[in-house]
Amino acid sequence: MTRRSLLGLPALPALPSLAADATVTASVQKLQLKHTWTTVMSSSTHRDVLYTTIRQDGLTGKGEGAGIVRYGESAESGAAFVNRLAPELARMDLRQFGKVIDWVLKQSEADWAAKAALDIAVHDWVAQRRGVPVHALWGLDPQDAPLTTFSIGIDKAEVIRQKVREAEAYPVLKIKVGLTNDEEVIEAVRSVTKKPLRVDANEGWKDKDEAVRKINWLEKMGVEFIEQPMPAHMVEETRYVRQRVHIPIIADEACLRPADIPKLAQAYDGVNIKIDKAGGL
C-alpha cells in the first residue's frame, strides 16, 4: 500500500527514462596561480581542482571542488570518489535532485569537496532544465548576496603591496597571517589601502597571550575580525583570547559541521561556512 493508493489517487505516470544518455565524469586540472600562494598551511604556485560533469537528457551540469589537505582531501581523492559513484549516479533521475544529493552525501564520511562538486553540477543541471539561474531555484534575490572577500596570501612587503594594488576592484580584503612577519604584512597592506580588512591566521598562533597582543594590535589597524587565530583543538585557549579582545573571532578549521558548533559557542563569535567544507549548497 502506498500513500497514493491509500488516498485513491491514480498512480503517477512512469517518468520517461532520462538516464539513457547519462554520464558522470571527474577530472583534475592544475591551475597556474598568478602569485605564489602562501598561508600557514602551505606555499604553492598552482592549485589542483576537481571538475565534475553530470550529463542527462541533453543537458550537462558542471561543478568544481577544491579538496583541502588539512582535512585529508585532494583533487585526486575527490576524483576517485566521483568515479566510484559514477555508474550508479548516472542511472538516477536528476529531476529528483533532492533524493540524488541525499544519496551522494551518504556515500562516504569524508570527500566533502567532491560532494560539493557533484552538488553544484546537479544544481547546474536542474537550473538549466528549468531555464532559470540557480538562485531562482530557491526564489532568492541575487542583489541580497553578501559581499565576500578577496584573499591576499603571506608574502614580503613589496609583493604584498603589489597584490593589494592588483586587487583594486575588490572592496573587502582578507589578509593571511600567522607566520613570523604578521606586522610586516599588515603594515604593507595598510600602506596602500584603507579598505575594510579581515585577517585569517589559519591556526598560526600557538601562544594565547601572543594571540591577544596581536589581535588587539590588529584592531588598531582597522581589522573587522580575526579568523582561526589558534589551532582548532585549542578551544579553551581561544575562549581565553576571546575574553581579552574586542573584534569577533571566527571559526574556520575548528568548524566543519553543524555538530561542531555547541562546543565552540563560548570560544568563537561566528563560523566561516565554505561549500567545500559543507559538501555543497
List of residues contacting its own copies (CB under 8 A): 1-4, 6, 8, 12, 95-101, 126, 130, 136-148, 169-171
Distance in Å, CB of 7 to its own copies, minimum: 8
Nearer to its own copies, 12 or 69 (CB): 12
Contact 85, 22 (CB under 8 A): no
Nearest distance from residue 197's CB to its own copies, in Å? 16
Rounded Cα distance between 135 and 279, Å, is 18
Pick 5 or 42: Cβ nearer its own copies: 5
User: Do the Cβ atoms of 221 and 194 come closer than 8 Å?
Assistant: no
**First and final CA of the chain: distance in angstroms?**
35
Q: Which is nearer to its own copies, 58 or 262 (CB)?
A: 262
How far apart are CB 4 and its own copies at their closest, in Å?
A: 7
Residue 94 or 154 having the CB closest to its own copies: 94
Which of the 8 DSSP states describes residue 253?
A: T
Q: Shortest gap between Cβ of 216 and its own copies (angstroms)? A: 30
Strand partners, 44: 37
Dihedral (C-alpha) 254, 36, 51, 103: value to the nearest 10 degrees?
A: 0
Find the shortest distance in angstroms from Cβ 233 to its own copies.
Answer: 26
Query: DSSP letter at 197?
Result: E
| Residue 33, C-alpha cell as written in the block | 596561480
Distance separating alpha carbons of residues 20 and 56, to the nearest angstrom: 8
CB of 94 or CB of 249, closer to its own copies: 94
